[in-house]
Structure 1
Amino acid sequence: MIGKLTGTLLEKNPPEVLVDCHGVGYEVQVPMSTFYNLPAVGQAVSLLTQFIVREDAQLLYGFGSAEERAAFRELIKISGVGPRTALSILSGMGVQDLAQAITLQESGRLVKVPGIGKKTAERLLLELKGKLGGEMGSAGAQPASGAQGDILQALLALGYSDKEAAAALKALPQDVAVSDGIKLALKTLAK
């Protein structure tokens, strides 16, 4: 219903901000990544929003980028992850970090976020695999092609850590075939 707010920033009280849009003040909850990039009080601000209606409240969440809002929307689709938890996840790690953690299946990075336990982290990784990592642009160690993704999964299945597998992938040519890539990566890791 409300997709974007543009107005004057009246108050900043983490994680909530008050935005005046032509005489109407909207209370908007934002992740800390957005909060840190807000202008000073009294300055113009523009936020993409997600409006959520519950039985006991109507809440407005704001985001500085379309990627953040898309990640928030994917997160709240997961059973057991509400808007508050999704906001906490986006406050604890950037969208690129989240996409990279999902691509590399690193539950340890998600567990570091307050309010996320081991089971929730594993459910997030399972349900967001292929949804968030690919959409959110290229993260640092995210494979560029399907072949590299297959090579990464093979190395992880063989028991190599995420860091070892990502380092071996960086040493490979971009257009390498899966079987050749696995052989080359294993030679690199054996050194």
Structure 2
Amino acid sequence: MDLFSLIVEMIDLRSFSNLWYWIALAVLWSSASHWVLGVPYDMVGRASRMGGQAAQDLQDAVRIQINRLLYITDITGVFLISFMFFLVTTLLLLGFAYGVEFAQALVLMVLPMNVVGLINLSAARAVQATPHDDRALRSRLTRTRFYIQLVGIVSIFVTAIWGMYQNLSIGVFG
């Protein structure tokens, strides 16, 4: 096997049969459930156990990340929504109308991440709208993480089913 064949095999665009795609999917969902509202979730556990300065650090980190997220959303919201609709529509057409497997794989990553973005945005607006004490903030972050993990479970399940279907149909019919 020469170097070119090795490189082509490693970056194969048949995503569902490629190990790198599944590793990227696992890293994507691991990161999405760890970073709730842009704050690492281990800070929630530390604030719960230790209180005091750890709880204050959590409050500050959440305040900073929420202000940042809402500022970006308020300034670029329409452009961001328009771009995401364009991207997802293009990927959907390429993937499911024209049968490009790489676009299908990207749709199955990008579309659920848009839902995660909406969950985070909704939680950010809720935290900003009402003052939260330490316990209420930890509860809100835990609930937000739970919703993100639910989206992740459904997304990984759908991706696995679609990936198996693609691999079996290519193996049997292609």
TM-score range, shorter chain: under 0.3
Q: Which has the higher helix share?
A: 2
Q: Which has the higher strand share?
A: 1
Query: Which protein, 1 or 2, shows the higher relative CO under an 8 Å CA cutoff with sep ≥ 6?
Result: 2
Question: Structure 1 length normalisation: TM-score?
Answer: 0.21
